[in-house]
Amino acid sequence: METFRIIGVPEHFNYPFRILAESQPFKKDGILISWKEESRGSGQMALDLKNGEVDMALLLTESFMKEFDAGSPFKMLGLYVESPLVWGIHVNPNHQADQINEIESRHFLVSRMGSGSHLMALVLADSLGWEKESLTFEIVGNLDGAKKAFQAGNPGIFLWEKYTTSPEVKANHMKRVGEIPSPWPCFVMAISKETIEKFPKFIFQLREYIYSITSNLKTETTLSQTLAKEYQLDPEDVKSWLNQTEWAKSPEISYEDFDRNILKMMGFEIISKKINPKNLLV
């Protein structure tokens, strides 16, 4: 029996992979699915994929692109979530500012360098006209790390998916002073060249199965209640999130759209050079 190891953040986006791991549809074919949830975000998951500790990582698109640009041996099996991720912009709950443009600090709290919280800080700074050289970064690990930093009076800015942080905002553990959507689809299924060599046929079977889950997911009448319970979220927040969210349902990709996104990432200095989108795919 072989094991195919998948990693993703412990957030509502990844419910299809909980379904996959619980159902074990490939056990009869001799392949077990191992599903691990990593709270430290895309930067840590990319490292795990690079080190051969997992076979697939559900990475933020910008993190995948930065890794590819830097020469990491990654390929994209397909898009996973086609809609943008809406990032909440958070500060200490005692901060006097109520809007991001009232904040003078250029100090960002990030899960790790190269993570979405780091790369989207560059996008936010660009939108506000802040010079990249004026930005400073402090690694806090994950959402809990940011919460502890705020409790200690840290004046930094922390970007994280807005619905994941909603319970913390409501509990006054942090204050939301704005939102910023990613200018591209938010998640991709990333695999390494080692994965392709080890599972050359299975990766496509797996992709097809995941798309069969995502194609039918929104037809479940109790989905919002299920997600609220699974991820300790407000059911009304989940309904709003579902209205904004589109999981990918097929391997079809618009190269023209991806080309535009690559140019945007170059503009934000997330990647250093033009990349042919066809080179990203398995």
Whether residue 133 is found in the same domain as residue 246: no
Whether residue 198 is found in the same domain as residue 174: no
Contact assessment for residue 14 and residue 203, using Cβ atoms and an 8 Å cutoff = no
Whether residue 122 is found in the same domain as residue 96: yes
Residue 169: predicted pLDDT = 98
Among residues 181, 208, 239, the one where a domain terminates is: 181
Whether residue 79 is found in the same domain as residue 213: yes
Share of the chain above pLDDT 70, in %: 100
Mean pLDDT of the chain: 96
Task: Give pTM, 2 decimals.
Answer: 0.93
Whether residue 25 is found in the same domain as residue 46: yes
Whether residue 176 is found in the same domain as residue 90: yes
Residue 103: predicted pLDDT = 93
Among residues 120, 153, 181, the one where a domain terminates is: 181
Task: Report how many domains make up the chain.
Answer: 2
**Mean pLDDT, residues 6-32 taken together:** 98
Contact assessment for residue 194 and residue 73, using Cβ atoms and an 8 Å cutoff = yes
Whether residue 108 is found in the same domain as residue 134: yes
Whether residue 80 is found in the same domain as residue 122: no
Domain residues for the domain of 248 are 2-84+185-280
Q: What is the CATH number of the domain that holds 246?
A: 3.40.190.10
Confidence band (pLDDT; 50, 70, 90) for 271? very high
Whether residue 97 is found in the same domain as residue 155: yes
Whether residue 77 is found in the same domain as residue 153: no
**Mean pLDDT, residues 118-127 taken together:** 96
